[in-house]
Amino acid sequence: MGQMYRIEDEETLIGRTSQAKIRINDDGISRRHARIVYDGNVVRIEDLKSANGTMVNEQPIQGELVLKDGDKVRIGVTTVLKFTYHDDIEESFQQQMYEAALRDGLTKAFNKKYFADRLESELAYARRHKAPLSLVMFDVDHFKKVNDTYGHLAGDYVLARLAKVAQGAVRSEDVFARYGGEEFGVICRAVELENAALFAERLRLLIESSSFESEGARLQITVSLGVAAFPETPAVTITDLIQAADAALYEAKRRGRNQVIVRWPEQAD
């Protein structure tokens, strides 16, 4: 909700394919659903023989249609795109409002609500299409000790720095979020459990080797990670998948921290 797409290319593809600039996973959306064509003067939309068609202001379009300011384009079952003209100031304002609604203020990672919404959407898609979906949950080892020893400002610095390091390791199509406190999550779209485990280990090593310094003090920061995936964990709801990843995370802490524990199929309930 609220995400903006600037129309500046001659052609902008809308659909489920990874080649689409406006990529949407939603019921009823074709891989190549529609395209927007911009010739420098007017903007047109064309349905690409999608299974369920494209509607503008609740009217199905045939061939190409010139878009007017304020037009509402319905793609699939629940996705509605609004076409509008903005100057740079208005675009910047809208983008800031969008970011504020979705991002954690301290770490700039996505917030818990966005994380839950996306995980619900991705799990529904994975179940419907029998596709893999992995979840990595991790938190900072001995974070209370950091706060108690160096103060809460140092703790805030650690969280912000860690998020920046982690964000650099996450693919653009994945979702990195602050789940709460010192705990973070990564939704790995279309990634099988084994590959998610490899990613988690790379992330662990990256954080362990990264520099954390606060007021001249060098801090040794490590994380414990838990990995779970669908269909290995037969999750019906996102709670099932989160609980599986969290259980693995807490097992990593129990075994001494700074390690990855994977929820393999034989461990699933």
Q: Which residues are catalytic?
A: 182
What is the number of H-type helices and E-type strands within the chain?
Answer: 6, 16
Residue 265, preceding bond cis, omega within 30 degrees? no
- Residue by residue, DSSP assigns 36-86 as EEE-SS-EEEEE-S-SS-EEETTEE--SEEE--TT-EEEETTTEEEE----
| CA dist list (Å): 109 to 71, 113, 248 | 32, 12, 22
Distance CA 14, CA 12 (A): 7
Q: Rg of the Cα trace of the chain?
A: 21
The letter for the amino acid at 149 is T
CB 95 within 8 A of CB 4: yes
The letter for the amino acid at 160 is A
Closest CA to 64 of 42, 32, 41: 42
Helix, strand, coil percentages, rounded to 5, for the chain:
35, 25, 40
